[in-house]
Structure 1
Amino acid sequence: MAFSLPPVKVIMKRWKPSLEDQIIEQTNGEFFYRPSKMAAAIPCKVIKEDDSFDTLIDSFNHHDAVVILDNIGLPAGCITAPQMVDFLYNAFKQLEAFYEAVIQTTDASITVIDDLARVRTWTEGAEKLFSVKKQDIIGQHISEFFDPNKLEILQTLDNGKRITGQYHRPRSDLFVLINSNPIYYNNRIIGAVVSETDVTNQVVLNEKLFNMSAEMHRLEQEVAKYKDSTDPFHSIKGKSASIQRTVHLARKVCSVKSTVLILGESGVGKEVFAKAIHEASEEPKAPFISINCGAIPASLFESELLGYERGAFSGADIKGKKGKIELAKGGTLFLDEVGEMPLEMQVKLLRVLQERKYYRVGGEKEIIADFRVIAATNRDLHELMQEGRFREDLYYRLNVVSLHIPPLRERHEDIIELTHFFLNDFSRRYQRPIYEFSPDVMQELLRYHWPGNIRELRNMTERLVVFATDGVIKKDYLPFSAGSLSLENSGMISSNTPEERENTILTLQEEMDQHEKKVIERALKIVDGNKMECAKHLGITRATLYNRLKRLGID
């Protein structure tokens, strides 16, 4: 608050009463105050200067004067009822001055109503936003000017509902972002306050962009029917500068067959880039062999990568088996999640890359290695090297050319195109004629930070189409919308006080790890510990989930 009631000793310091100017008498342990020498003595209530302001106020219920004792029990002065009235009046006027200054300073639309829903405060911002003059609405019931069913402030007044950053449409031509809080006094709601920020222009602009993007996507699909779409990079969606730079670099890589290391968070489309580079570099029938280095147990990795001869070990196929390297002959071997490769296999892979030849497990015949390597990881390989979990020589062998794919949160302008692409795909697949998202749903999608990147966006779009049985996608279908469980209730953010959270400084990685751990733990709880189902809901592979569980120390 800008103004608060002080303890008694602070009031005494402000008034600085002189005992010489006050006649205070003590008789039989009781104190009396005389306004003048000729005036009658007034019985006094005695309190201490350390007592609260409430104690001082209560003292005037049965006395016209109050004597204040200092910390050694001597009278420090006397306060009479008229003086108390004067002090309270000045305190009220000061509080009113603070209040008026705050109201006049803000440009926002702020409305305050009392317990009878009568308007008590109506700022200039409210006048501009709603075209209602202050002199016309002050003192009037707010429902005389607005539809009661569309007034969030009335819900706040009735049931104490608090609102933070919620989109609202009080009129057909107006979109606002509102915050609303009840006003409590003595554990009773005596009013409500709401602040509203006009976001109509942003919503209208988004709707125009949405419609333009939908039309552009439709035209692109029509054009695609009449041209030879042999460009392997055609499947990579997005017009943002960051993704276009990455595509431009990837196209340059296609002119040679150098080893490529693709870096980026889970779900950004590393394998899509790898396939595009492969298709643009190799012959049409050249194989593209993918191996997830985090999904294969260390004990089986060597046989998966190099293959094995018949009888090489107990339980092996009697005919033997070709390894991934052999299957990739004349084409590309894609090492996904290469940061999870067992350390002992890193040595053997390095030898194959250096010597370009190898032996199957249990074999004696030397095999020539003829393949191109494209590796991908969402891990920090420099950090793994410092921890001794990734070989430095292998890193430099793989990192001939590196591509960094930006996360979706750094290319929000691509969300509209991507959602339309996925929407068209799933609406056809599930035979649901849904052609667009409503502006409020798109606003939520644009505001979300997308930790699972494009994979999460794709899964989210599928979820919306599946739920839209009536052909209408609603904001309530989004798990992160205002209508869904809050982050705090879901356990995704700490329940510490704001002050404690504010004073706790963590590194960015620590903050991200904490958030990621809580998301995964909550997801596991929902699916009763089923890791396959958990990975599906999170929009990541099961191997990636196992890696995250291990890194974050989740049992």
Structure 2
Amino acid sequence: MSVRIVVVSWGKLTEIVQEVKDLVKGEAKIEILEGLFDQRATLELARELESSGKVDVFVSGGGNARMLRANLSTPVVSINISGYDMIKAILKHHVEGEPVYIVHFGDVIQELNDLKEVLPFPVYQIALNDPSEGVQFFRQLQQQGQRAIIVGASLAWEMANQYGFKSVYIYSKKAVLEALNQAVEMANVKRREMAKTERIQAILDFICDGIVACDQEGIITAFNPAAQLITGIEVEEALGKRVQDVLPQLKLEEVLQQESQPTFNNVVKVKERQIMVNKVPVNVKGETVGVVATLHDIATIQKAEYQIRRKLASGGLKARATFEDIVGDSEVMLNTIRQAQKYATTSATVLILGETGTGKELFAQAIHNASPRRDSHFVAINCAALPENLLESELFGYEEGAFTGAKKAGKPGLFELAHNGTIFLDEIGDLPPSLQAKLLRVLQQKEVMRIGGQTVIPIDVRVIAATNCDLWKAVQEGRFRRDLYYRLNVLPLRLPPLRERVEDIPALVRDMLFKNHRWLVHYAGTIAREIIEKLPGYSWPGNVRELENILERISALAAGQSLSVKMIKELVHQALADQKYLDFSSKIEVETILEPSTLQKHQRSIERNIIYKVLNETGGNKTKAAKLLGISRSTLWRKLKELSH
């Protein structure tokens, strides 16, 4: 893009500019502003060009150049008076005995007086204030009958010609061309500096860090929008003010006075906001001439840290299940779901108690997804699945060189990855004693130290633990820390085993078939009835997972064929052929742990066990079972219906 040069000119100078402007080096758009002797009017026109951004550099001579330079911020190049060219011109036209008058408007130019010393004839400098003085001067010379050479710029030169004097124009073509080339070069430098300034300003405007800079006097010279956002102080309230008055907390003047070294990670409080500050002195040739401070909102840093953790972590740290994914309409299951939903609204530790296959992780994920932490990580680990040393490094992380085979950059532990989220510790009862102590400290202090590390890392993690064993019994036997037990058992959640919610089997069967064997969904009701009838009173030690295994067998045996009711009965019979029926009087461990039996429950349990045992002995034949029990077949049906609720 061409630079824009405006020449403030008049008369003869305009002619010279027109002659030489095509010889200018570089791309330039040269315009001529015909100046008037009224400098105020000329200045007004120049200001209009400046405010509209239509000029990069002004070029002018003599008084106009001085006037423009004094009143405008745009650079002004003066057309230099070449003494050598002037002497050549004077000598060419001079006749012995003729004095030389150098006539111009404005102040006396001292350099022109030097011509007196090199010329062998009288040289006079005449400084005029306005055209009327020029008219008076030339009339006087004319009346005196003097023969003289007049050296001057446009107006003086024209007056000399008008009154019949020999004249020499003060500006040569060479001088005008040099001024134009200088203006183009200056304009290009200005453009580059403006581009550099704009880039720096763009960086300051859009960088996330707050930037505050002050000069040697402690006056704020830079205060970007991020600094305004972080401190709550308007840019206009800061720029040009003493930093000590605006932000005394930064203590930037101390850096100026003490010429101290850069300091990093200082935490200060500004308007109730925690801000981290880095301060760097600006040194020029060993002298501190200013200070630059970068500001970081600590809340933003914590948010960024969380985002980085999410970015670096694997994609599996997400809870997928919600309470809508939990299948079951039985009263006991609905009560459990309602209790879990209440727990989800808090950040307190949850201890899930349930047998194998009751859906402990399903509930943990649902609690997380219904909690305020739903947008953060859900990290799960089975405490019984890894050896002690590996489990420790997974939970708490490690630093570089902590042990043989450690990653070069170290590795964050699961507690770090779960920051602001939830960690699910399955099989917590199998946690080794040494790690129980370390876990207790993490829960108490809310901070973690990596293996081989020297610093603690603050964390905000909700813990959901789960076990299928009697954790209190483990405490009494010395296998589990009492203090850790109380830290975990804040919000206990007991998951009912399948035998306590047999009425949910039809819904579970339909859901499982829909997810895994959709072609069998049409037969879900028949399959569920057959399973319930074939396994009356079965204790379901594997719970939902065991039911799922049975359906897998049925699907494999059916092999995609179209089924009749008779075929379904045969398939269910085959699928259950290798099932081991448990003693109906076996203990239900979790139930015993959590709920003391009442006399009514004991009676109900004994009655149920007797009925189911007889049904088992008769191969499910209800007529034979009723006869052995000494009751009618309808009574047996009624009792079975009652026992299933």
TM-score, normalised by the number of residues in structure 2:
0.38
TM-score, normalised by the number of residues in structure 1:
0.44
Query: Which structure: larger Rg?
Result: 2
Select the structure with the greater relative contact order (CA < 8 A; seq sep ≥ 6).
Answer: 1
Higher helix residue share: 2
